[in-house]
Structure 1
């Protein structure tokens, strides 16, 4: 994906902000706890916070949270659902916080959109010494046969390069950590994964997949055809054809520390 394509994908979510808030999953508390485990204090920045999915989990764990999100529509949903959280317009490349003002920077399904050549020094700037940087991603467990089938039917727009455990491990092993001058400020990355099954119906799973960037940037006719194909697959699969089911997921975490 070139720079223009990445920017188009990254900026696509605002048009689906309400659906994103309704259908996207939250994050496993155990995963968020592991991400924060080495943090030297309770001050946490949720960077690229979207509609507040990760923010809500952080609040539930007692963190002192500030959320930063570049998209106005996504930020409006965050304000609506979490009115007590300090939420600011900004980006990973221009964080509207003072130096050394947070003990951890977390990003939920967002770090792969950051331009780390610029964002890396910014993240290092706002982190306190020995502060934590962690990315979290919700991935589908394609070791389950019907999930693997869904990935084949939906294609890369519905199940992308970080959306299954194996592809996530390969894509994030150092790929989204600070580079270019900021690299020496961070330690070696660690990866871990935590079970996080989600209750879904066929309809709500289709609605969830419709909020993926690859789907949002598709031409309308192609998007409808893809979603119809996914719906037909779910209707024909015994595990998903009748009422509620558990979508087997993991919250996968990549973390490092500012040195």
Structure 2
């Protein structure tokens, strides 16, 4: 629970440093929905909201953290952004064609959120999740993962966790896809990005500082990241399924 509520303290840094989502992935998650009305659930500062808008969706965003919601409203004033949660969605019955969560599904209490999601979806509506992962098939990224620890750079919305979180409600027809993605970073901005991970936000300050220093030293020693800008290799991964 502490991890779930850790982001508000870093809302502005989250908005500045966290990556967006691959545009192809944003189009894919609601391509099979019966319409274009999409709920971005656990929307944070609007990273996925912006990608869904660019993909042509009619987006409503719901976010429980006041600081994150304020940042979303500041950057995307045209969006209907509401205070609420997956367990208490402030929308009428059958009002959206797809419910999509970006790096958020693992925070939901699906025993409560499942019926709420089913309530707001239209018949044949789609439930989907997207999450960004570092592409550790690249050598220096794998080294970074070893130095920083899985809690800092590893995905939280893994396929296994995604299925477990939905209590098997998606069934065998759920589809998975991956989309190449990347983010332009410097060593300093990558450290700032990793500092917004929940696992680091809740660390005691001495341990947090030591971890960030270790990451900074590693990046300074790699030819790919020591000087100037570089592209951080990433994947946007996703699951989608018609709600059972």
Matched, 1:176 2:165: yes
Partner of 1:40: 34
Hey, what's the Cα distance between the residues in 1 that align with 2:85 and 2:20? 21
Hey, what's the Cα distance between the residues in 1 that align with 2:237 and 2:243? 20
Matched, 1:30 2:19: no
Within 5 Å, give how 1:1-259 maps onto structure 2: 7-162=1-156, 168-172=158-162, 174-178=163-167, 183=169, 188-259=173-244
Hey, what's the Cα distance between the residues in 1 that align with 2:166 and 2:237? 15
Tell me if structure 2 keeps the 8 A contact 1:119–1:178: no
Q: 5+ unaligned residues in a row in structure 2: which ranges? A: none
Q: 1:244 to 1:145 in 2, by over 3 A?
A: same
CA distances 1:154-201 after superposition (whole Å, capped 9, x unpaired): 0133123538xxxx34433x222255xxx3x86632111000111110
* TM-score normalised by structure 2 residue count: 0.96
CA distances 1:73-104 after superposition (whole Å, capped 9, x unpaired): 00000000001110000000000001100000
Q: 5+ unaligned residues in a row in structure 1: which ranges? A: 1-6
* TM-score normalised by structure 1 residue count: 0.91
Hey, what's the Cα distance between the residues in 1 that align with 2:173 and 2:120? 19
Tell me if structure 1 keeps the 8 A contact 2:7–2:68: yes
Tell me if structure 2 keeps the 8 A contact 1:156–1:214: no
Tell me if structure 2 keeps the 8 A contact 1:45–1:105: yes
Task: Give the aligned length.
Answer: 244
Hey, what's the Cα distance between the residues in 2 that align with 1:62 and 1:161? 27
Tell me if structure 1 keeps the 8 A contact 2:39–2:62: yes
The Cα RMSD (Å) is: 1.4
Q: 1:90 to 1:186 in 2, by over 3 A?
A: farther
Tell me if structure 1 keeps the 8 A contact 2:131–2:155: no
